[in-house]
Structure 1
Amino acid sequence: MLRKKLILLILLLPAIKVLSQKKEVPTPQWRPKYHFTPEKNWTNDPNGLLFLNGEFQLYYQHNPFENKWGHMSWGHATSKDMIQWRHLPVAIPEIVTKDTTTWIYSGSAVVDKNNTSGFGINGKPPIIAIFTADQPKQHKESQFIAYSNNNGLSYTQYSHNPVIDLNKSDFRDPNVFWYEPAKQWIMTVSMVNEHMVRIYGSKNLKEWTRLSDFGPAGYTRNGWECPSLLPLVVDNDPKNIKWVMLVSSGGDHGPLIQYFVGDFDGETFKDDNNGTKVLPVDYGDAFYAAIAWRDAPQNKKVLLGWMQDGRRETYPWKGQMSIPHDLSLKTTEEGLRLVQEPSSFVTKSLAKYSTEKALLKKNMPINDTRINLSKERPFAGNSYWIEAEFAVDKAKKVGFNIVENPDITKNVTVGYDAEHGQLFIDCTISEMGNKSRRNLEQRAPLKAINGVVKIQVLVDNSSLEVFGNGGEKVISTMIYPDINATNLSVFAEGKAVIKNMKIWDFNQK
């Protein structure tokens, strides 16, 4: 059970590292400003993503009582721009009876527009949540549904739950969508230890028929979780659609989400590569359990993941979400590949939440040197967003030294290794002597285009996400800089030119 092992590791690492450390010490220096965190207490997987009444609805795995994993329930928040979030009461709490406790694990939610479930009232379509019910005492996971008639603020459990029960201990994370050609609901759900995704169909969300299984395929050294099946546009052509199966399946060096590109006929998903390739969604060590908004405006599919690594305690919250990613497919020499860009719903609001004047640079040579950018920034902190284009045909490496301390002896390096054709994050200097940091360097293959490479660097106090060439490759990780480690510099080994660079500093939440 990979996710339980991952969460256990997250819980144990800080205790192993510093047994004498006082608990519940506030850490505002690590609270993200433009990523979602709960007001307090634990969060992990995003759940039930919907766009409703002009707002993005986010449900999430949540412990309402403590800043650690447990008492699993669905927390709830809404946003108009995916930056500023309104925190709402717990939408689906754990179920406690005299006989058993049922925790509300991960799942999805749908607007039942045609009231196929019969749960709607007064002609208004209900919202149906479909989730895994975990019963720890019985060592059992099954699929439940609940319905809402108040715009998803609260839910009523279906009286005949579970709707799917295989009497298994590891059977979870249903993701449901309406498949119009067959006029029915489709569910993907994880057969964890079998390394398979089971596909079900239903006309009413209550009675489900097994349609097919996908897998084993790709990476199978850990259990499969959080599957989802999405139709994505190829090469920006809305008439060219391929299907992508996402599976969170752990990895050898940290969390791994893999994807498969193929076709779906309403019953069966067929991978174009016959399950022979392992295609990572993210090349970092802190991006997991991601699912997408299927109904975002402009027909966009917007992916959101959980970010956490457990190396440090944060308080009064634990865990955060990634930046939302707009998804598409691109034809490459290797075949169709996933492209992930920071969502346009976020980028169009950058100016609203950042300093009045962003730092701009154009056609600036950087030859075997480091240039300090901190003095020119109107608001110096560790919450900022960089977009940069480098000409690298005469360079060995280019990039940024972020979260530098004042004497420039510690930093994290982010950039492009032109000699090896790799996007990279290097935490070696910042984590010197820290034995809890396993992945000091994280790299992704990336080719310069006509001698130019584009890098987006999203630093948000305790998170770091790097996008290469408009989202062809992504690396996500967690960082925990000292309070005074706020310097920023740009560097080159060899001769390079910053063709364009813009930096937004965030000064509010």
Structure 2
Amino acid sequence: MTAATATTTDIFRPALHYSAGSTWLNDPNGLIHHDGVYHLYYQNNPLDSVWGNLSWGHATSADLLTWTERPVAISCDEKEDIFSGSIVFDRHNTSGFGQDGTAPLVAIYTSAFKAASGLEGIQAQSLAYSLDGGYTWTKHTGNPVLNRNSAEFRDPKVIRYSGPSGDYWVMVAVEAKDFQVVLYKSHDLKSWEYLSTFGPANATGGVWECPDLFPLPLDGDPNNVQWVLIVNLNPGGPNLGSAGQYFVGDFDGTTFSSATTVTEGHQDSERLREYRWLDWGRDYYAAVSFADVPDNRKLTIAWMNNWEYANSIPTSPWRSPMSLVRELTLQTVDGEAHLIQQPAGDWAALDAPVANFSLPETAISQGTTILDGAAGTVQRIDVSWTPGTAEEFGVVVRGEGGQGTRIGVRPAEGTLVVDRRESGQTDFHETFASIDTAPIRLMDGHYKLTLFVDRCSVEVFAQGGQVTMTELIFPSPTSKDVSVYALGGSATINSLHISQYA
């Protein structure tokens, strides 16, 4: 749930996704589970609803669905803006920031230095610490702790590595315009030693940002652990604009080696769709993972927007929501390791759906059929299809008259489609009206989609999370219809169920 409730003057305020009460937000930062609470920090302009004055906003949750906005955690000042970064629980007080037996949380963030700092134009890595569980923060007097005298060195993600090479902190950050992930190690979070560099590789159509590095067992086998490196980039995504890619390989404590590199060096634009994408939609960026999640689950969240039009979307007084939290697993698909993503969170903790709608097995012929009794603005839709002769079939959400957002499958092309050209307000930016596609493969003769429809977004989880697409939409509040359709022939709905949440 979001920080505030939608009103007639705030028609796009999401119900299932987090948004700041009255300000701008972008990249998630410092994600951690600590003392039974999930902490979401994020890039925030506490003074306006456009990018600027970057500080760390803060929200907390017990269930990953209902979020409470907290006061700004780490504020910009006359010397620095507070760019993206991460938080670790320094349980053994390696940093020395702990006091009276209390181990600190330590934030590692990018200082974007201003003129008053004497380092104007430099991006370097700095520390802040908290002794009250992440609610108040003190900047380290020795900042910055890692400075390469670079204007594009940012977004540190710090993890604890334990392996044959030792036991120490590892930082992955980026030299954004060089398309490189740079790795460092430290024993105290203050002094850092260079390890290695990864990249350029695969997608390099825009600056590299917000990296992440973590191990996952392949197919649940603890004896076959592989490493995943996430690199977000802007622009250069598979459907234009901001996006996130990932590599699967090995990390030996010094060097990450990729087993899924398609293009060494700079990208081959003709091979763009061969790269591994976290999400194929237009609005899923800066995804990073939570630290210290129980049972070693790997949970991520992303900024639900696109830098092409981020400052222009028609929301007020807030701007930009976060995605749903996702759980990642690594599974073998067609003989190769791929990330599988599923919506996370304690859905049972939400209020019960206000209504439910189900459709039994139904054949759909050429045309569009409105489902009576299925209308809504905040919904989870689970649908399974068997292809027939139709060139395309699918679901239209947030519809009214000829408008709506179309989510469909083109079996002959092996393509998943999200068409938001008639989704509502689209004229606020020339690139927003789009028809976006992703590859999809038939599984056991069926196509299965789970759709999360909110007041300003659609998140698509296809084929059990093998493919995801996330898209902002800005429909009229009266656009509530749900329809099914088939083009150029027929298809069969095996089952369809809708839970209405508002």
Structure 2 residue aligned with 1:327:
328
CA spacing shift, 1:113–1:433, aligned 2, 3 Å: closer
Match of 2:360 among 362, 367, 370: 362
After superposing the two structures, state which structure 1 stretch, 227-236 or 272-281, moved more: 272-281
Q: Please list the CA deviations of residues 82-119 of structure 1 after superposition, one character each: whole Å capped at 9, or x if unmatched.
A: 121111111111133xxxx2111100001011111111
Q: Please list the CA deviations of residues 263-291 of structure 1 after superposition, one character each: whole Å capped at 9, or x if unmatched.
A: 00011000013452632211111111110
Task: Kindly indicate whether residue 436 of structure 2 is the aligned counterpart of residue 442 of structure 1.
Answer: yes
Task: For 2:187, give the aligned amino acid.
Answer: K
Match of 1:465 among 459, 475, 486: 459
Structure 2 residue aligned with 1:287:
284
Structure 2 residue aligned with 1:230:
214
Task: Kindly indicate whether residue 18 of structure 2 is the aligned counterpart of residue 36 of structure 1.
Answer: yes
Q: List 4+ stretches of structure 1 deviating above 6 A.
A: none
In the alignment, the residues of structure 2 paired with residue 410 and residue 427 of structure 1 have an alpha-carbon distance, to the nearest angstrom, of 9
Task: For 2:68, give the aligned amino acid.
Answer: R
Task: Kindly indicate whether residue 490 of structure 2 is the aligned counterpart of residue 495 of structure 1.
Answer: yes
The residue matched to 2:465 in structure 1 has which SS?
coil
Task: Kindly indicate whether residue 114 of structure 2 is the aligned counterpart of residue 127 of structure 1.
Answer: no
Task: Kindly indicate whether residue 454 of structure 2 is the aligned counterpart of residue 476 of structure 1.
Answer: no
In the alignment, the residues of structure 2 paired with residue 162 and residue 147 of structure 1 have an alpha-carbon distance, to the nearest angstrom, of 14
1:26 touches 1:316 (CA, 8 Å); kept in 2?
A: no
Q: Structure 2 length normalisation: TM-score?
A: 0.90
Task: Kindly indicate whether residue 417 of structure 2 is the aligned counterpart of residue 402 of structure 1.
Answer: no
After superposing the two structures, state which structure 1 stretch, 25-34 or 229-238, moved more: 25-34
1:384 touches 1:460 (CA, 8 Å); kept in 2?
A: yes
Q: Residues 269-418 of structure 1 correspond to what in structure 2 (within 5 A)?
A: 269-274=256-261, 276=263, 278-309=275-306, 310=310, 311-333=312-334, 335-343=336-344, 345-349=345-349, 352-373=350-371, 375-377=372-374, 380-405=375-400, 408-418=401-411
Q: Residues 42-441 of structure 1 correspond to what in structure 2 (within 5 A)?
A: 42-96=24-78, 101-137=79-115, 138-181=120-163, 182-252=166-236, 253-274=240-261, 276=263, 278-309=275-306, 310=310, 311-333=312-334, 335-343=336-344, 345-349=345-349, 352-373=350-371, 375-377=372-374, 380-405=375-400, 408-430=401-423, 434=427, 436-438=430-432, 440-441=434-435
Q: Please list the CA deviations of residues 162-211 of structure 1 after superposition, one character each: whole Å capped at 9, or x if unmatched.
A: 10011111110000011122210000001111110000000111111001
The residue matched to 1:66 in structure 2 has which SS?
coil
Q: Please list the CA deviations of residues 377-409 of structure 1 after superposition, one character each: whole Å capped at 9, or x if unmatched.
A: 4xx43211111111124443221111212xx22
Q: Please list the CA deviations of residues 107-141 of structure 1 after superposition, one character each: whole Å capped at 9, or x if unmatched.
A: 00010111111111222211000000001431111
2:83 touches 2:111 (CA, 8 Å); kept in 1?
A: yes
CA spacing shift, 1:331–1:439, aligned 2, 3 Å: farther
Q: CA deviation at 1:61?
A: 0.7
Structure 2: gaps (5+ residues): 1-6, 264-273
2:426 touches 2:432 (CA, 8 Å); kept in 1?
A: no
1:26 touches 1:314 (CA, 8 Å); kept in 2?
A: no
In the alignment, the residues of structure 2 paired with residue 492 and residue 363 of structure 1 have an alpha-carbon distance, to the nearest angstrom, of 15
- Aligned residue-pair number: 471
CA spacing shift, 1:439–1:264, aligned 2, 3 Å: farther
1:234 touches 1:242 (CA, 8 Å); kept in 2?
A: yes
In the alignment, the residues of structure 2 paired with residue 505 and residue 120 of structure 1 have an alpha-carbon distance, to the nearest angstrom, of 47
Q: CA deviation at 1:438?
A: 4.7
Q: CA deviation at 1:27?
A: 4.5
CA spacing shift, 1:356–1:298, aligned 2, 3 Å: farther
Structure 1 residue aligned with 2:269:
none
Task: For 2:494, give the aligned amino acid.
Answer: K
The residue matched to 1:470 in structure 2 has which SS?
helix
Q: CA deviation at 1:55?
A: 1.6
Q: Please list the CA deviations of residues 286-329 of structure 1 after superposition, one character each: whole Å capped at 9, or x if unmatched.
A: 11111011322221111110012434221111111011111112
Structure 2 residue aligned with 1:485:
479
The residue matched to 1:58 in structure 2 has which SS?
strand
Q: Structure 1 length normalisation: TM-score?
A: 0.88
In the alignment, the residues of structure 1 paired with residue 479 and residue 363 of structure 2 have an alpha-carbon distance, to the nearest angstrom, of 26
2:392 touches 2:410 (CA, 8 Å); kept in 1?
A: yes
Q: CA deviation at 1:361?
A: 2.4
Task: For 1:411, give the aligned amino acid.
Answer: G
The CA RMSD measured in Å over matched residues stands at 1.9
CA spacing shift, 1:211–1:328, aligned 2, 3 Å: same
CA spacing shift, 1:439–1:232, aligned 2, 3 Å: farther
2:425 touches 2:474 (CA, 8 Å); kept in 1?
A: no
Task: For 1:339, give the aligned amino acid.
Answer: I
Structure 2 residue aligned with 1:7:
none
The residue matched to 1:484 in structure 2 has which SS?
coil
The residue matched to 1:142 in structure 2 has which SS?
strand
1:307 touches 1:321 (CA, 8 Å); kept in 2?
A: yes
In the alignment, the residues of structure 2 paired with residue 291 and residue 160 of structure 1 have an alpha-carbon distance, to the nearest angstrom, of 27
In the alignment, the residues of structure 1 paired with residue 69 and residue 342 of structure 2 have an alpha-carbon distance, to the nearest angstrom, of 26
In the alignment, the residues of structure 2 paired with residue 432 and residue 210 of structure 1 have an alpha-carbon distance, to the nearest angstrom, of 48
The residue matched to 2:295 in structure 1 has which SS?
helix
2:249 touches 2:259 (CA, 8 Å); kept in 1?
A: yes
In the alignment, the residues of structure 1 paired with residue 225 and residue 82 of structure 2 have an alpha-carbon distance, to the nearest angstrom, of 34
1:295 touches 1:301 (CA, 8 Å); kept in 2?
A: no
Structure 1: gaps (5+ residues): 1-24
The residue matched to 1:249 in structure 2 has which SS?
strand
2:388 touches 2:492 (CA, 8 Å); kept in 1?
A: no
In the alignment, the residues of structure 1 paired with residue 249 and residue 172 of structure 2 have an alpha-carbon distance, to the nearest angstrom, of 15
Task: For 2:422, give the aligned amino acid.
Answer: I
Task: Kindly indicate whether residue 452 of structure 2 is the aligned counterpart of residue 453 of structure 1.
Answer: no
Q: CA deviation at 1:354?
A: 4.7
In the alignment, the residues of structure 1 paired with residue 494 and residue 361 of structure 2 have an alpha-carbon distance, to the nearest angstrom, of 4
2:247 touches 2:261 (CA, 8 Å); kept in 1?
A: no
CA spacing shift, 1:392–1:346, aligned 2, 3 Å: farther
After superposing the two structures, state which structure 1 stretch, 147-156 or 450-459, moved more: 450-459
